[in-house]
Structure 1
Amino acid sequence: MEDENQELIQFTEELHNLADTSLQNVLWDKRSIYKIPASVTALNRIAYMPQTVSFGPYHHGEDHLKPMEEHKQRALRYYLNRSGRRLQEVVESLNEEIQVLKDSYDMLGESWKDDKKKFLRLMILDGCFMLEIIRLATHSLDGYAANDPIFSSHGRLYIAPSIRRDMFLLENQLPMLVLYKLVALESDGAQDEEFVNELVLNFCYPNAPVSKLDKSLHVLDLYRKSLILEDPAWKMRRPRVKGGLLNVVNDIFRSATGITDVGIQFKKGKTKSLRGISFHGGVLELPVIVVDGATEATFLNLIAFERLHVGAGNEVTSYVSFMDNIIRNERDFALLRSRGIIQNAIGSHMAAPQLFNSLSRDIAFLPNSSLEGVHMQVNAFCKMPWNECRANLIHTYFRHPWAILCVTAALILFALTGAQTVYSIIPYYKSNHSTSPSPPMGFAAPPPLPTSTPPPLTPPMHPPRPSHRHHRCRCVQK
């Protein structure tokens, strides 16, 4: 009986805590690094797991990632030497924000919550290593040996790409606050958050201009913001959606080859922003995208972040869903590649078209998609009667080479038959045209035109010839 009362009291306290949701709402706002549910990772678990290095607590200590731990120690040592700071100063700087750092993780283990020193050590080691890797890809690092396996030209060529791939995994993120604090401590506050953002973006886009961005949650969040930068002019051109979700669901979007059949042309956009998709005057403009070995993992983690982080938006998910609609086979992929919209760095022409199909396998329809207006514009163009007839004609008669030859032969035969008919009618027409046709019924024949009678022909005048018969008569009389 006493145990039952104790359970009832405990249950009542839990209900009371649930009733006060204000604290829970505050915690939700602070979270930005999530453990991805098994229902999401089931289709492609390896795309969400680091392969070379761990950042943060979620994958720390995994056997296949342990070899990189010793290199983190060396990165910390070089950071301290370059900054002229003592380790204790770094610890104190991050300790000021330790609760904010812990609250960034959605499912932080109890051992990390309870052991403050262990958590700070992890943040410092991983933060310094990430900072050195970013600088490795963008600057020459002084102080490292030429034969260093990581921080050298060799590491930049062979190791940095795989580390870069792991840095864009949602479960493998560090709060951006760690990098902000480390850089500020190193430069005595001379380099601010904007400088760190620029440093990270130069790592994401080597040898390319970068834009200024606001404060970000982590590297993945910053990279996502760089992908969806919006030109103010796009808002003026963005169509207003009428009809809502029902119209879009009922419309079946055509593939790239199907879109060209109705007369729509594809054009390479001038921007790399995923928001740079527009449709105007029968031209569908798409941003350029480079497809490489890390594209699948990066986009899957961007989609997972939009799914789990409330308020993040759905721009990346909308883009992937849009591309999945227009790329359904190798011909669609080859068409976009020929227009310069997709740059294939995978090497396999078979694997590349399947990429967007695999990315969208677990994506539900987005009722408030940022590309909903473009979707409806393209469908409206495709439904115009002449465009539908054109598409049916091309699909039926001009899709395969043999069909084209048959249609061409039929047209030639029709032309020859027509020519033969014309040549057969011409003699008949000429013979009938020589006789005056009788006037149609109901109309009087026109009076004949007056004609002048030509004068009679007179024979030419010649002098009289002598008559031999007359002379003979005279001779006879004598």
Structure 2
Amino acid sequence: MEEMKWVIQVNDDLKKMVDTSTETEQWKRRSIYKVPACVADLNTKAYIPQAVSFGPYHHGKKHLNQMEEHKHRALLHFLKRCRKPIDLFFNSLAQVVQELKDSYEPLDPMWKDDTPRFLQLMILDGCFMLEILRTATSILDDYAPNDPIFSNHGKLYLMPYIRRDMLMLENQLPILVLDHLVHVENNEAKDKEFVNKLILQFCSPNTRISKMGKCLHVLDVHRKSLLGENPRPKTRPRKWAGVSCTGVNHANGDELIRSATELYEAGIRFKKSASESLEDISFTGGVLRLPVIVVDDATESMFLNLIAFERFHVGAGNEITSYIFFMDNIIDSAKDVALLHSSRIIQNAIGSDKAVAKLFNSLSKDIALDPESSLRVVQKRVSGYCKKPWNQWRANLIHTYFRNPWAILSLIAAIFLFAITIAQTIYTIYPYYHESPPSSPYHDFLPPSPVVSSKHNPPHH
């Protein structure tokens, strides 16, 4: 009987099956994902918000409920300031509610089937996020000066944690929510880049990008800011270069490059790139140029979520993943971090160089370099440079004799002894070739040398 129900269900689904173009549109809408256990288990805390929830995935979690009161207060301030009834915002979002629901993969039936509750969540979280973003440029003056969130105190002590939570893949709101709220608030007077600029000022205040185009959510905006204003064009459709949940790495070991210390021993020097884009990595004339990166307490969580987004969102690209893969190749130990720090490429804000090395090594678990990535070309150039005979000899010499201070002293002593030996040999044989020949014993019996006549010295008679 159960088998018959399943057969009937499959036949019904087959009749309702949409064409490929419709499926394509449905997949394109999805941009916020649940991180599966095979990925999250590597670092569970990196994907779970600790201060505030945005969207349905973590709403109602016990450790986040304290922030719900602040969300409601922010909503009231938002409505009072713009002098618009909440009905206008509700109706505006209701027009795109299906598109908002389709952004989440998966979406629990409790949200999928209860549209009013879903819209209430979008408005409440969206207004709170807008109020948070606006604190990046100024303190909102309609809040109490001792407000725990929207004050100088909150900006100093709570905003870093909120910023970290806003960059988690499972904790996103579709940017469409923020766009509609801003348009209703300002009678559609704001330009299309207004929300992008708000997010940019909050998450990356030192980044200057004039136009970002259509973005999906806060994490997507931040990703584009890390790649710069003019990302490199993709010449061919991307082939997925990730891993399966079994952790199989598809990287080609022959194309891996050595650590920064070994590259330095082979004669390669490190310099800062002209821009801060994570794509701006190049190698010419024995110089490897890398963008400056600040490593702090939020770096690990941020990169793990960016990598997860690239992994699950088809068409997002693989630039961040490729960058992490490349950095893991050249960072094996604290010595590599110290070398890059001395070249002003890594700014260490978490303490020891060993901790930074461990961070990059952990980020690269179960990832591989995209076959279409421009960094593969850089890797090949660096590897080719290191394989040249002179560079190999130089690297082997430094690695063998200049890694250990005792080896250096032994080499110096050997050279000194060799020089002394040569000097002693020269001193011994030099007199043999430059002394006057000894006098003959028959010298007294030899006739005198004939006197040569000259017109200037005529002979005497």
The normalised TM-score by structure 2 is 0.89
Is the 1:211–1:226 contact (alpha carbons within 8 Å) kept by the matching residues of 2? no
* 2:230 is aligned with 1:226: no
Comparing 3-12 with 147-156, which one deviates more in the overlay? Answer: 3-12
SS in 2 for 1:120: helix
Shift of 1:248: 5.5
- Taking the aligned partners of 1:273 and 1:328, their CA distance within structure 2 comes to 23
- CA deviation profile, 1:8-43 (whole Å, cap 9, x unmatched): 322333445558544333211110001111111111
Q: Which amino acid aligns with 2:157?
A: Y
Is the 1:291–1:343 contact (alpha carbons within 8 Å) kept by the matching residues of 2? yes
Residue 81 of structure 1 is matched in structure 2 by 80
* 2:423 is aligned with 1:419: yes
* 2:315 is aligned with 1:311: yes
Residue 364 of structure 1 is matched in structure 2 by 368
Comparing 222-231 with 287-296, which one deviates more in the overlay? Answer: 222-231
Q: Select which of 224, 234, 256 maps to 2:260.
A: 256
- Taking the aligned partners of 1:146 and 1:451, their CA distance within structure 2 comes to 123
Q: Which amino acid aligns with 1:64?
A: H
Shift of 1:73: 0.7
Is the 2:209–2:228 contact (alpha carbons within 8 Å) kept by the matching residues of 1? no
| CA pair 227-451 structure 1, distance change in 2 beyond 3 A | farther
Is the 1:230–1:276 contact (alpha carbons within 8 Å) kept by the matching residues of 2? no
Residue 187 of structure 1 is matched in structure 2 by 186
Q: Select which of 359, 370, 375 maps to 1:355.
A: 359
Q: Select which of 377, 391, 395 maps to 2:395.
A: 391
- Taking the aligned partners of 2:4 and 2:256, their CA distance within structure 1 comes to 60
Residue 295 of structure 2 is matched in structure 1 by 291
| CA pair 65-420 structure 1, distance change in 2 beyond 3 A | same
Residue 464 of structure 1 is matched in structure 2 by none
Let me know the Cα RMSD of the aligned residues.
Answer: 2.5
- Taking the aligned partners of 2:335 and 2:382, their CA distance within structure 1 comes to 20
Shift of 1:61: 0.2
Is the 2:251–2:368 contact (alpha carbons within 8 Å) kept by the matching residues of 1? no
* 2:346 is aligned with 1:342: yes
SS in 1 for 2:288: strand
| CA pair 395-89 structure 1, distance change in 2 beyond 3 A | same
Q: Which amino acid aligns with 2:271?
A: K
- Taking the aligned partners of 2:135 and 2:350, their CA distance within structure 1 comes to 24
Is the 1:268–1:288 contact (alpha carbons within 8 Å) kept by the matching residues of 2? yes
Is the 2:211–2:229 contact (alpha carbons within 8 Å) kept by the matching residues of 1? no
* 2:457 is aligned with 1:453: no
Is the 1:318–1:370 contact (alpha carbons within 8 Å) kept by the matching residues of 2? no
- CA deviation profile, 1:402-448 (whole Å, cap 9, x unmatched): 1111111111111111111111121111137899xxxxxxxxxxxxx
Q: Which amino acid aligns with 2:316?
A: A
Residue 445 of structure 2 is matched in structure 1 by none
| CA pair 433-193 structure 1, distance change in 2 beyond 3 A | farther
Is the 1:137–1:160 contact (alpha carbons within 8 Å) kept by the matching residues of 2? no
SS in 2 for 1:350: helix
Q: Which amino acid aligns with 2:267?
A: G
| CA pair 15-208 structure 1, distance change in 2 beyond 3 A | closer
Is the 1:202–1:210 contact (alpha carbons within 8 Å) kept by the matching residues of 2? no
- Taking the aligned partners of 2:19 and 2:230, their CA distance within structure 1 comes to 42
SS in 2 for 1:27: helix
- CA deviation profile, 1:356-396 (whole Å, cap 9, x unmatched): 10100121343223311101111111111111111111111
Shift of 1:155: 0.3
- CA deviation profile, 1:79-126 (whole Å, cap 9, x unmatched): 111111111111111111111111111111101111111111111111
Residue 280 of structure 1 is matched in structure 2 by 284
- CA deviation profile, 1:38-73 (whole Å, cap 9, x unmatched): 111111111010000000000000000000000001
- Taking the aligned partners of 2:34 and 2:6, their CA distance within structure 1 comes to 31
The normalised TM-score by structure 1 is 0.86
Residue 111 of structure 1 is matched in structure 2 by 110
Is the 1:230–1:275 contact (alpha carbons within 8 Å) kept by the matching residues of 2? no
- Taking the aligned partners of 2:431 and 2:26, their CA distance within structure 1 comes to 97
| CA pair 28-208 structure 1, distance change in 2 beyond 3 A | closer
- Taking the aligned partners of 1:194 and 1:5, their CA distance within structure 2 comes to 54
SS in 1 for 2:374: coil
Is the 2:55–2:125 contact (alpha carbons within 8 Å) kept by the matching residues of 1? yes
| CA pair 425-57 structure 1, distance change in 2 beyond 3 A | same
Comparing 215-224 with 416-425, which one deviates more in the overlay? Answer: 416-425
Is the 2:204–2:222 contact (alpha carbons within 8 Å) kept by the matching residues of 1? no
Comparing 203-212 with 147-156, which one deviates more in the overlay? Answer: 203-212
Comparing 191-200 with 21-30, which one deviates more in the overlay? Answer: 21-30
- CA deviation profile, 1:190-211 (whole Å, cap 9, x unmatched): 2122121111111112255333
Q: Which amino acid aligns with 2:215?
A: S
- Taking the aligned partners of 1:273 and 1:167, their CA distance within structure 2 comes to 21
Residue 206 of structure 1 is matched in structure 2 by 205
Comparing 315-324 with 19-28, which one deviates more in the overlay? Answer: 19-28
| CA pair 247-41 structure 1, distance change in 2 beyond 3 A | closer
Residue 322 of structure 1 is matched in structure 2 by 326
- Taking the aligned partners of 2:66 and 2:318, their CA distance within structure 1 comes to 37
Is the 1:101–1:175 contact (alpha carbons within 8 Å) kept by the matching residues of 2? yes
- Taking the aligned partners of 1:345 and 1:261, their CA distance within structure 2 comes to 27
Q: Which amino acid aligns with 1:173?
A: Q
Residue 92 of structure 1 is matched in structure 2 by 91
Unpaired segments of 5 or more residues in structure 2?
236-249, 440-449
- Taking the aligned partners of 1:45 and 1:265, their CA distance within structure 2 comes to 37
Q: What is the percent sequence identity of the aligned residues?
A: 57
Residue 29 of structure 1 is matched in structure 2 by 28
- Taking the aligned partners of 2:112 and 2:18, their CA distance within structure 1 comes to 25
Residue 157 of structure 2 is matched in structure 1 by 158
- Taking the aligned partners of 1:400 and 1:190, their CA distance within structure 2 comes to 67
